[in-house]
Amino acid sequence: MSDYNYSVMFKKYQEEQETQRLKEKELKKRIEANSQSFDNAAKWIELIKQYGNIQQLDVTIVNELIEKILIHEAKKENGKRTQKIEIYYRFIGKASD
């Protein structure tokens, strides 16, 4: 094998190795994120089991289930007042709109 061919093949090999390292790093991040999501879902399930038959919200329940509530500035359009409210639940994040 000539030095040129070796250099070309070695360069290609190094590029493939770097691509594989980047893919591995990304997959590890995804696995970690999925693992964290799974753990959070399990924690949420355990927490919500305590309140499976909620008849009325009280301070204790709200504090246990909700991480934060963001209330945005009210807007008035076409004579109607609207106000966006975002609820972030413990372990699972923001409620969908």
Do 83 and 75 meet the contact criterion of CB atoms below 8 Å apart? Answer: yes
Do 65 and 46 meet the contact criterion of CB atoms below 8 Å apart? Answer: no
What's the pLDDT score for residue 46? 87
> Which pTM was predicted?
0.56
pLDDT by residue, tens only, the chain of 97 residues:
888 888 999 999 999 999 999 999 999 999 999 999 899 889 888 888 887 778 888 898 888 888 999 999 999 989 899 999 999 988 888 877 6
User: Quick one: which of 45, 59, 52, 57 has its CA closest to 90?
Assistant: 45
What gap in Å lies between CA 97 and CA 86, rounded to an integer?
8
DSSP 15-64: HHHHHHHHHHHHHHHHHHHHHHHHHHHHHHHHHHHTTTT-SS--HHHHHH
